[in-house]
Structure 1
Amino acid sequence: MEDIPEHMRKKYLLPDMDSTFRLFAAHWHAVDRNWKYPIHKHPLFEVNLVLSGTQEMIVNQTSYIQNPGDIMLLGPGDVHESKAIGKENMTYYCLHFDVDERVLRELLCRNKTYFHASNSDLATAIQPALDKLIKLTKDEAAQRVESRMMILSALFELFAGISGTLSKRDSSVTVPRMSQVASQIAARLELAVDQTEDERLEGQDIETIESIAAEIGYSMSSVNRMFTSVYGVSPRQYMSTLMLKKSKLLLMDPELTIETISAKLGYNNIAHFSRQFKRWTGESPSSFRGRFYK
């Protein structure tokens, strides 16, 4: 067999990925024409789709009228309330989610176009994924493993549709200086969390939010304000999310002791790590690990 010529030798790799997300309170709901949901806000992103009837949603004091197929896309902290209007009963589908994929969070938080008509680019892009999620939501067997994997597949299809549409719209807009600074801070925090135990033992400085702020020449109050505006969470909350994700991944490695994991994460002792992990999740590291390894 002939060797492949050097100019034809190629290798293709998918990028390494390490992302987590949360799906919360996804529901299909049929309501009567007098239904209303009071004013509220939450720390999650929300997709709200009207299936039949008409809904008025007030977001940050601006009113939007949703007809069948119209979608609302909201961000963390957006103050909103809803009610059915008109003479018909109403059906809608709603889901809340959070995601730590940095670029996607930037796109979502930068988006201030809440209403997307049924024939808009975004509604067209994500409707197939929403159709799958609606079907799975109404499926009584949704708890089965294969159904849960189908839900994951549809969710990633939803994220792809949202990010693809917002990216096209965002590409023609100059990224504000505030977003550039926040992205720089986020990247530095990710590197700090990924710093290895060996690097710390070698005396390399561990970056903190305070040291990053000082190095880039901004006060902590400015850093907090810019970062929260771009990502919807404070730098400290963002770093905690990264630490929790890394903790869970390490705990799923049966070759590592909890003491070793504590050291890898930079904690002075296992008790400190255990307290922090329980504060994040409501359970101890050993309890979390026990759900995977008996």
Structure 2
Amino acid sequence: MLECKTFTASNSGPVTNFPLHVFWREPQEDTLEHQHAYVELVLILQGQSVHHYNKTSHPVMRGDVLVVAPGTAHSYRNSSEDFAIVNIVFLPDRLPIPLIDVPLLPGFNAVFHGRDPDGGKCPFVHLPEEDFLEMKKLVVQLHHDDETRPSGYRFSMLGTFMMMLSRLARIYSHEQGRNPQIFLHINGVISYLNRHFKEPCPLSKLCQVAGMSRATLQRNFLAATGTSPRQYQLQLRIAEAMTLLRTSDKTVDDIAEELGFGNRNYFSRQFHKITGKTPVYVKKNIEHF
């Protein structure tokens, strides 16, 4: 039996430096079974192939979009000579982007985390030609910034990726026709966290906001956002910390106190866990962030 190779952030080159990259594969030949330690969003540019994923298979063609979750084995087989794809690889927990209300879209988990609501399946959607051409334009811009790296390219890439994420989540939501009621139920909780993330937000308070029990809130919140309320709040704090480190004269201690971390050491550990860098490193290397 062939070994399933795992590609991680450490052995995938540039993914370590910035948690979002684009790889143009033209042509894309057949591959051995492999898996990744990051999310891989794939746009099929032309040609045909058979995508094998988690012991299932599905034919793919121009206009298809696939999302491969971390740790899931997949491969391409029986590819046509003109088969071409674009791989957008990213680490969700390290992307410094404000998700705000996009987790309310039923298709968000599928596109951002590679989690299909049916479980075990590869999130998949076929784009109508008009949507495909618009998506390709965004991918071309994303790839150009990643390759040429002009001043401010990280900011530009994040903006482009956010546009892609929202469009794909909407399209996927529409295609799946899922009941959005569960997401509406926790809308108040997400809005509350977005406004009060610097303050203590105990689960008991969030249960009051949602009108749910602890177990129901945690289950519904996970289904809507792919994470827990506590982790969601932490991600908001880290995103704000990154902004303050880049744009203000505040010290690391000041930022830790302002964002409710209590002390510098705890703040630094959590910041490093999500971004892969320390606050001090970011502060000293502002031009790279």
TM-score (norm 1): 0.67
- Following superposition, the deviation at residue 241 of structure 1 comes to 0.8
Matched, 1:106 2:99: no
- Following superposition, the deviation at residue 54 of structure 1 comes to 2.3
Larger gyration radius, structure 1 or structure 2:
1
On the 8 A contact 1:109/1:229 being kept in 2, the answer is: no
Compared with structure 1, are the counterparts of its residues 249 and 154 closer, same or farther at alpha carbon in structure 2 (3 Å cutoff)? closer
Compared with structure 1, are the counterparts of its residues 236 and 288 closer, same or farther at alpha carbon in structure 2 (3 Å cutoff)? same
The amino acid of 2:102's aligned partner reads: L
* CA distance in structure 1 between the aligned counterparts of 2:240 and 2:81, rounded to whole angstroms: 49
Tell me the residue number matched to 2:254. 260
How high is the sequence identity, in percent, across the aligned residues? 18
Deviations, residues 21-47 of structure 1 (Å, cap 9, x unaligned)? x75342112467542333x47664x43
Deviations, residues 199-240 of structure 1 (Å, cap 9, x unaligned)? xxxxxxx32234313664544443332222211222222122
The amino acid of 1:256's aligned partner reads: K
The amino acid of 1:175's aligned partner reads: P
Residue correspondence of structure 1 range 1-294 to structure 2 within 5 A: 23-30=19-26, 33-38=29-34, 40=35, 44=39, 46-59=40-53, 62-67=56-61, 69-74=62-67, 79=72, 81-86=74-79, 88=81, 90-97=83-90, 98=92, 99-107=97-105, 108-109=107-108, 114-117=123-126, 119=128, 122-134=131-143, 139=147, 142-145=148-151, 151=157, 154-159=160-165, 161-162=167-168, 165=171, 169=174, 174-176=179-181, 178-195=182-199, 206-213=200-207, 216-292=210-286
* CA distance in structure 2 between the aligned counterparts of 1:23 and 1:279, rounded to whole angstroms: 13
When structure 1 is superposed on structure 2, of 126-135 and 229-238 the one drifting more is: 126-135
* CA distance in structure 2 between the aligned counterparts of 1:173 and 1:83, rounded to whole angstroms: 29
Question: Structure 2 unaligned runs (5+)?
Answer: 1-17, 111-115, 117-121
* CA distance in structure 2 between the aligned counterparts of 1:146 and 1:211, rounded to whole angstroms: 40
* CA distance in structure 2 between the aligned counterparts of 1:134 and 1:282, rounded to whole angstroms: 23
- Following superposition, the deviation at residue 48 of structure 1 comes to 0.9
Compared with structure 1, are the counterparts of its residues 116 and 166 closer, same or farther at alpha carbon in structure 2 (3 Å cutoff)? closer
* CA distance in structure 2 between the aligned counterparts of 1:35 and 1:76, rounded to whole angstroms: 17
* CA distance in structure 1 between the aligned counterparts of 2:19 and 2:131, rounded to whole angstroms: 20
The amino acid of 2:197's aligned partner reads: V
Q: Secondary structure at the match of 2:261?
A: coil
TM-score (norm 2): 0.68
- Following superposition, the deviation at residue 129 of structure 1 comes to 1.6
The amino acid of 1:104's aligned partner reads: V
On the 8 A contact 1:122/1:165 being kept in 2, the answer is: no
Deviations, residues 165-193 of structure 1 (Å, cap 9, x unaligned)? 457x38x86522x2123332222222231
